[in-house]
Structure 1
Amino acid sequence: MRLIASDIDGTILGHDGKISARTVRAFAAAAEAGIDIVFVTGRPPRWLAPIREQIGHLGTVICSNGALTYDLAEEKVIDSQVLGWDTVNSVRSIIMGIAQEPYFALESLTGFHVEEGFLRGQVVARGVVPVDALTPDMAQAGIVKMLAVLHAGTADEFMKLVAPAVSSLITVTHSAPELALLEMGPLGVNKAVTLARYAAARGIDAADVVAFGDMPNDIEMLGWAGAGYAMASGHPGAIAAAALQAPRFEDDGVAQVIEARLGAAG
């Protein structure tokens, strides 16, 4: 084990925004043992406070499902893959033609642009920019993720409807357990692709990577890593795709696996 790659939400971070003390200790022990640690998330850079403040991680974070790599210490983007406006416009048109009342948003290098109806009563968070419409000039800000939401149904149902129609144009996945929200990024980009590039730059083979995740946007990463652990509390698709399973999030599953592997190594 030379590299630990972990998802954040539902894997080490709960709905209350807390990371357990046991998990914090496990990551600290891994770092002390000289193991490289990288977090791989669908989150944008502005939502990385939990790992900075609770774990003390100041290294690299792979954000936006692989479309963006961020240096927490320097607070700067290291690398990004972006969507062209033609793709965004085409995908939006296709989804509007097959789904009932979809609403859209764009995550860019400068903020989160949401059209009216997307949030539906939710509090506008820091970095969120409500807009009257999504327009071509937003591509100049570097679009790293496109989101579509339905205020009815499930993400699995929405994914089943949309993926066949847009998968030749864009990478589509989801990480929303209770909301029909799809996350779409540059074609061919996912967590595994960017993690593989990160590992290769450090001379680390997939066989030496331990990865943790719980949702469909983790599937490729869990399959690529030499030891890919799906959380027992995770999405059935992630569990089916992973060769290994960690105990439930509620039982500090990630910490249990790290502790066991460090003990075996010792």
Structure 2
Amino acid sequence: MSDWRPRLIASDMDGTLLRHDESVSAATVAELERWRADGVPLVLATGRPPRWMHGVREVLRHGTAVCCNGAVLLDLEPMEILDESPLEPDTLQAITAELRAHHASMWFAVEYGWEFRHEPVYQPRWDVDAPGVATATLEEMTSAPAAKLLARHESMPRDAFVQLVEQVVGRRATVTNSSTDALAEISAPGVTKATGLATVAARHGVGPEDVVVFGDMPNDIAAFEWVRDGGGRAVAMAHAHPDLLAVATDVTVGNDEDGVAAFLSSLWSHRRDQGP
């Protein structure tokens, strides 16, 4: 694999491509542009909804985003949703009812892509007064298809809470986590960053053997396994969650040290040294 070269670059955003202040460094932008000019596209694979993609679009200007952990595919240039795989109302209603029966102090919110609704007692960490964000009853929230269901607990340990949600949900949906909080992210069954990336890669005529993917949290595990098992490169940040490090093929430096750019630069330099 010493002379391996990607045909598609995929990266998580928070804790990976973005620095802690949510900026993308000039060095990272320049490195990504070098690969794009050489015909290698960038795909952002994130738990973020489309409504959180305006800032990065202003910096990167183009590319495709796999949003909501694979549930929404977004074309960044026109900010147009290309495809969606939502949770249906009957599934939302059944899951939330059973989760609340197991733990009464569990609170819910839903991502619709461009809008966000949360129970009044649910404490969102961001976008509290942003357009498209509002409170709603659980009945109202689960009456329409949603890109992602969020379940939060204010006092349980994160891993124990996510495990509880997984046990209750079973195979009816996909449960993951990308936060240091006790926050479970629930998507339609079988929907992960891997399924979203596979769809986008196929549109570019690329398989997992030609993909390099960067990440730092458990919601990146499915994408890492898809790329690793297919012969590509799954690159974890130095500070990544232990469960992600366990399935990585490579490790790079942290996001504040431009780990994505550093790893890509090493691939470019090695290719140059190898010659044509």
User: TM-score of the superposition, structure 1-length normalised?
Assistant: 0.92
Q: Supply the distance in 2 between the matched residues of 1:195 and 1:33 (Cα, whole angstroms).
A: 20
Q: Tell me how many residue pairs correspond in the alignment.
A: 263
2:88 is matched with 84
Change (3 A) 1:264 1:125: farther
Change (3 A) 1:180 1:87: same
Which amino acid counterpart does residue 216 of structure 1 have in structure 2? P
Change (3 A) 1:132 1:51: closer
Paired residue secondary structure (1:38):
strand
Mapped contact 1:107–1:145 kept (Cα < 8 A): yes
Paired residue secondary structure (1:172):
strand
1:249 is matched with 255
2:130 is matched with 126
Q: Deviation at 1:95?
A: 1.4
Q: Deviation at 1:155?
A: 2.4
2:3 is matched with none
1:98 is matched with 102
- Aligned partner (choices 8, 13, 18) of residue 13 of structure 1: 18
Q: Supply the distance in 1 between the matched residues of 2:92 and 2:121 (Cα, whole angstroms).
A: 18
Q: Which moved more, 1:220-229 or 1:114-123?
A: 114-123
2:200 is matched with 198
Mapped contact 2:50–2:113 kept (Cα < 8 A): no
* Alignment gaps of 5+ in structure 2: 1-5
Cα deviation, 1:63-107, whole Å, max 9, x if unaligned, reads 000000011212211000011111111111221122351110011
- Aligned partner (choices 238, 241, 249) of residue 244 of structure 2: 238
Identity of aligned residues (%): 36
Change (3 A) 1:65 1:252: same
Which amino acid counterpart does residue 77 of structure 2 have in structure 1? A
Paired residue secondary structure (1:182):
strand
2:218 is matched with 216
Paired residue secondary structure (2:184):
strand
Q: Deviation at 1:233?
A: 0.8
- Structure 1 consecutive aligned stretches of length 4 or more whose deviation exceeds 6 Å: none
* Alignment gaps of 5+ in structure 1: none
Paired residue secondary structure (1:229):
strand
- Aligned partner (choices 63, 66, 71) of residue 62 of structure 1: 66
1:164 aligns with 2:170: no
User: TM-score of the superposition, structure 2-length normalised?
Assistant: 0.89
